[in-house]
Structure 1
Amino acid sequence: MVEQRVEPAKKAAQVIHKKLLGCLQSQLGLDTERRMKKLPLMLLSVSMAESFKDFDADSSIRKVLEMCCFMENHLAKTLAEFELKLEKEVLEPLNKLSEEDLPEILKNKKQFAKLTMDWHNALNKHFVVSCGSFSLLHTVDMVIHSLQDQYSADLYHFATKEEAYANYFIRLLELQAEHHKNSHDFLERNITELKEKFKAHLTSMATTNNSRGKVYGEPLLTHLYDSGREIAVPIQECVHMLLHTGMREEGLFRLAAAASVVKRLKSSLDGGVMNHSEFTDPHAVAGALKSYLRELPEPLMTFELYNDWFQAAGKKELTDKLEQFKIVLKKLPSENYNNLRYLVQFLSCLSEQQAVNRMSPSNIAIVLGPNLLWPHMEGEAALLDMASASSVQVVAVVEPLIKYSSSLFPEGTVPPSMFCLLVFRGGVLGVL
C-alpha cells in the first residue's frame, strides 16, 4: 500500500506547488521590504498617498484617503510577511519533496524493477552456467538485494514521513487562517476608528458651517455677525473670482450660465467651502452674485431708503445729485454701506473695461440695479415691480453710483484700477 502512494504524492506535491506559486503576489526569494514594493496593495497605497495631497486639509475625502493609505500599506506588509512564511514553510518543503525526495525513491524503484526483470529474462533463456558464472550471478544477486534493501528503506522512510508531508498542507491552511485573521482584526479595528473619526469630522464641519450661518436668503447683518466678516462671503468671493477671470468677458451679469453650475457654486458658498479653480465660468460666478443680492430678505440699499434714492436721482444738476446721494449713503447701516461700497467699486473697475466687455455703467445698472433696490412688497407684486417702470428708475440710481464711485465713496477710496490691484493682493479690506 505504501508503495502505491509514492507516485500520487509526487504528483500532488508538484501540482499544488505550481498552483500555489500562481497564487503569490510577490516574487520568490525577496525579503519582506522588497516584496512589499511590488505588491498591488502597496501600489494602491502609494496612489492614495499621491491623491490625497491634492485636497485641502479639511476635506473629508483627504482624511479618509490618509487612513486608507495607512491601512493598505499595513495590509501589504502583512501579505508580504505571510508569503515569506509560505515560501519557507510550505513551498520549499513541497518543492524538495516533489523534485528530490520522491523522485529518488521512484528512481530506485525503477532500477530495482529493471534489474530484477533483466535477471529473470536471463534465467528464462536457460543461461548456461559455467564455473566462472557463479561469481557473476552472485554479484548480480547482491546488487539486486542491495537495491531492494534501499528501496525498502526508502518506502519505510516515506511511510514514517507521510504524516509530516501531509502536515505541509495543514500548515498552508494555518498560515492562511493566521494571515486572514490578522488582516480581518486589523481592518475591523481600524475601520471602526475611521468611522468614528469621520463621524467626528462631519460633526465638526457641520458645527463650523452652522456657526457660519446660512448665507443665501439670510439677512446681511446675521451672516456678517455669524461669520465675523465685514464683507459678505458671496460678494467677496465672487468679486475675487471675477477679477481673475471675468473682467474682459463680454456681457458679464447679462448672459446666463448653466443653472447647474450656478447652483453648485451657490452650495459651495453656502457651505463655506470654496475652491476657486473649480469654477472657471465667469458668467456662473456673476449669476451666483446676482442671486445672492436678489435673495437677500432686504435689498442691499434697504427698503427704508427706497424713496430717498429716487429723490436723489431726480436732481437735475450733477453736483446736487451727488450731494444727495452722499446724504442717502450716510443713512445706510454701516454693514450695508461697506458691502455696497465694495461691490460698487468693483463694478466701476469692471466698467473701465467696457470697450472689451461691453458693460458700461449704464449696462451694469440695467442688469444689476433691480437686484440692489426694490420696494417693500411681497409675493408676485415685488417680482412684477422689478420688471416694471420702477426698475428703470433704479438704473438712474445705480448708474451714477458706479460712474462716480470715487466721489461718492471718498473715505479710503482708491481709483478703480488700484482697487482691482488691492483685491488681487488681498488688501482691500484694509483700505475700504
Structure 2
Amino acid sequence: MCMSILDRGVIAEQQLNTYGIITPDCSKTNGRNMSTWTWSNKRKVKVFGAPLESLQCHTDHGDVPRFLVGACTMLLEHTDEEGLFRITDSITRQKALRVQLDAGKEECLSTANPHIVAGLVKQFFRELPEPILPTELHDAFLKAQELTSEADRTAATLLLSCKLPDRNTSVLRYLFYFLHSVSKRSAENKMDSNNLSVVLTPNLLPPGEGTENMETNLKLQRAVIQCFIENAQDFGVLPQCLLEKVPVMLGGETSDPLPQDREENTLGQRAERAKKNLARFATWIHRTFGCAS
C-alpha cells in the first residue's frame, strides 16, 4: 500500500489528537532556508552551517549527507571508545578537521580521532540553519512526554516523528539507528541511550527562548531523544495497527485500496528504500562487529 507524505502526516495527526496533542503542518519546513542561501555560500561551505538541501548526499543512503554517513561509518569502528560523544578532544584539531571537511576532503575522517569526529557530528546538527526536529513540533514533543503511561508516551513521540519532512526523517532515522548501535556497546563505552540523550539533545532539540521551566523542559527534551534512540527502527514509521485503518481514517471504504501514487516520491517507495539501506547498514555492523543491529 502506497500513500503520500501528506497522508502519513494526516493519519499521525488524527491519532495524536486522541492524546490531546495538536500539531502544525511541517511539510513545508524543508527548503524554506534555500531562498536566502546564495550560490556564493554553496561554494564556500560544504558541510557546516548549510541547509540540508544544499548538502551532497550519499548515493547508498538517499537524503543522508555524505559527511554524516562517513562520520558514522568511521565511528562504528570505535563504538567501544569510552565516553563517545561525551569526551571532547583538542579544539584546535577539531577546527583543523572541520576546515578539511568544508574543503571537501572527506577522506580525512578515516584517520581522525573518534572523539573529534563525534564532536563534529554534534556541531553539524547544532549549526543547521533550522533545527533538524522542527521548532513547530517542540511543544508537541514536550506534551507527549507528559502522558501518563510509558506506552502512550512512546507511541505519541513516535507518531510525531511521522510529521517531519521527508529529508529530516531520512537523516534522523539514519542517525538514531547509528546511535542505537552505539548504545548497545554501553558496557564498554559507558554511553547508554540516556547518556547519549544528555549530550545530543541540545544539538537536535535545542531549548526555546526564555528560562521559564527550563530544567523541566530539558528533562522532557532528553526523554524525546532517548525514545528515538531506543526505538530507532520505528522512527518515521506508522504502526501497523494504523496502517490497517488507513482507508477509513482517510475517508474511504475498508475494501477500497488507496489510489496508487505514480511518482517515485511516495511513502511506500521511500520506506522500502530506507528499509533496504538500514538492512545493508545492519549487515555491515554484524559482519564487522559480530553483533546484532
- Pairing 1:419–2:277 present: no
Q: TM-score, normalised by structure 2?
A: 0.62
Match of 2:64 among 220, 231, 245: 231
Per the alignment, in what secondary structure is the counterpart of residue 304 of structure 1? Answer: helix
Counterpart in the other structure of 1:266: 98
Which residues of 2 match residues 168-183 of structure 1 at below 5 A?
none
Q: Which blocks of at least 5 consecutive residues in structure 2 are unaligned?
A: 1-38, 238-270, 288-293
Which residues of 2 match residues 205-244 of structure 1 at below 5 A?
210=42, 214-223=46-55, 230-244=63-77
Equivalent pair of 1:373/1:394 in contact (CA under 8 Å): yes
- Pairing 1:405–2:232 present: yes
Counterpart in the other structure of 2:141: 309
Which residues of 2 match residues 371-382 of structure 1 at below 5 A?
371-375=203-207, 377=209
Which residues of 2 match residues 143-292 of structure 1 at below 5 A?
210=42, 214-223=46-55, 230-244=63-77, 246-276=78-108, 279-292=111-124
Opposite residue 232 of structure 2, the aligned amino acid is S
Displacement of 1:281 after TM fit?
1.2
Q: Which has the higher helix share?
A: 1
Opposite residue 421 of structure 1, the aligned amino acid is T
Per the alignment, in what secondary structure is the counterpart of residue 346 of structure 1? Answer: helix
CA distance in 2, matches of 1:277, 1:395: 28
Opposite residue 287 of structure 1, the aligned amino acid is G
Counterpart in the other structure of 2:217: 390
| Percent identity for Structure 1 against Structure 2 | 30
Displacement of 1:319 after TM fit?
2.6
Per the alignment, in what secondary structure is the counterpart of residue 325 of structure 1? Answer: helix
Give the CA RMSD over aligned residues: 3.5
Counterpart in the other structure of 1:430: none
Count of residue pairs the alignment pairs up = 212
Opposite residue 281 of structure 2, the aligned amino acid is F
Q: Which blocks of at least 5 consecutive residues in structure 1 are unaligned?
A: 1-206, 426-432
- Pairing 1:332–2:194 present: no
Residues 251 and 269 from structure 1, CA distance in 2 versus in 1: closer, same or farther, beyond 3 angstroms? same
CA distance in 2, matches of 1:424, 1:280: 23
Q: TM-score, normalised by structure 1?
A: 0.44
Bigger RCO of structures 1 and 2 (CA < 8 A, at least 6 apart): 2
Opposite residue 228 of structure 2, the aligned amino acid is L
CA distance in 2, matches of 1:370, 1:298: 13
Displacement of 1:424 after TM fit?
9.1
Which residues of 2 match residues 119-130 of structure 1 at below 5 A?
none
Displacement of 1:334 after TM fit?
0.6
CA distance in 1, matches of 2:99, 2:125: 15
Counterpart in the other structure of 1:294: 126
Displacement of 1:362 after TM fit?
0.3
Cα shift readout 1:248-282 (whole Å, capped 9, x = no counterpart):
00000110011122112212222221224663311
The structure with more radius of gyration: 1
CA distance in 2, matches of 1:315, 1:267: 44
CA distance in 1, matches of 2:226, 2:175: 13
Opposite residue 394 of structure 1, the aligned amino acid is Q
Displacement of 1:241 after TM fit?
1.1
Residues 372 and 236 from structure 1, CA distance in 2 versus in 1: closer, same or farther, beyond 3 angstroms? same
Residues 213 and 235 from structure 1, CA distance in 2 versus in 1: closer, same or farther, beyond 3 angstroms? same
CA distance in 1, matches of 2:109, 2:118: 15
CA distance in 1, matches of 2:117, 2:75: 7
Counterpart in the other structure of 1:63: none
Displacement of 1:423 after TM fit?
6.8
